Amino acid sequence: MRLACFAGLLFGALALACSDSDTIVALNVCTLASVNAEAIESLDVRITGAANATYDLEDVSVLPCGTKPAYFKRIKLSDSTEKGSVTIDVRALDAASALIEAGTITAVVRPEETVAAFIELGDATPPAAGGAGGAGGAGGEGGASN
């Protein structure tokens, strides 16, 4: 009997914990090899579109992509957020508030749901290396003289 009561209480507590009515962006940020992750002191996050918000996240620890865990922050959006597309701009700043790198992603938010947003700071495609010039073609033979 006690076990049944305990199970009922546990189920009720879990049901309440799962009935989260907040609209959340689960922001995940990492850096590509071209970015000095150790120089990042803060993130300036701007959300525009179906929701509009600005966040200054300080004392962040952003790690290189592929490192677990990457920087993670749950951002609660306004209760009036409606379903729609948002653009999430993240600017990584150093201690002097100078821009180190930026990244942008578009996501669809829905009221009372959580959406994951993954932003990689840095150039995802390395610059094309200038290849060696091709060897010049062989000189043509002069035409026959008359």
More confident of the two residues 115 and 127:
115
**Is residue 142 assigned to a domain?**
no
Going by pLDDT thresholds of 50, 70 and 90, the confidence category of residue 124 is low
b/e per residue 102-120 (b: at least 16 CB within 10 A): ebebebebebeeebebebb
**Is residue 141 assigned to a domain?**
no
Q: Which residues contact 84 (CB under 8 A, 6 or more apart)?
A: 49, 50, 51, 108, 109
**Is residue 75 assigned to a domain?**
yes
- Radius of gyration from C-alpha coordinates of the chain: 26
**Is residue 20 assigned to a domain?**
no
**Is residue 102 assigned to a domain?**
yes
CB 31 within 8 A of CB 65: yes
Range of the domain at 90: 36-121
Highest mean predicted confidence (pLDDT) among 2-11, 93-102, 118-127: 93-102
| Count of Cβ atoms closer than 10 Å to residue 34 Cβ | 12
pLDDT exceeds 70 at position 81: yes
**Is residue 146 assigned to a domain?**
no
- Number of separate domains in the chain: 1
Distance CA 12, CA 7 (A): 9
**Is residue 47 assigned to a domain?**
yes
**Is residue 128 assigned to a domain?**
no
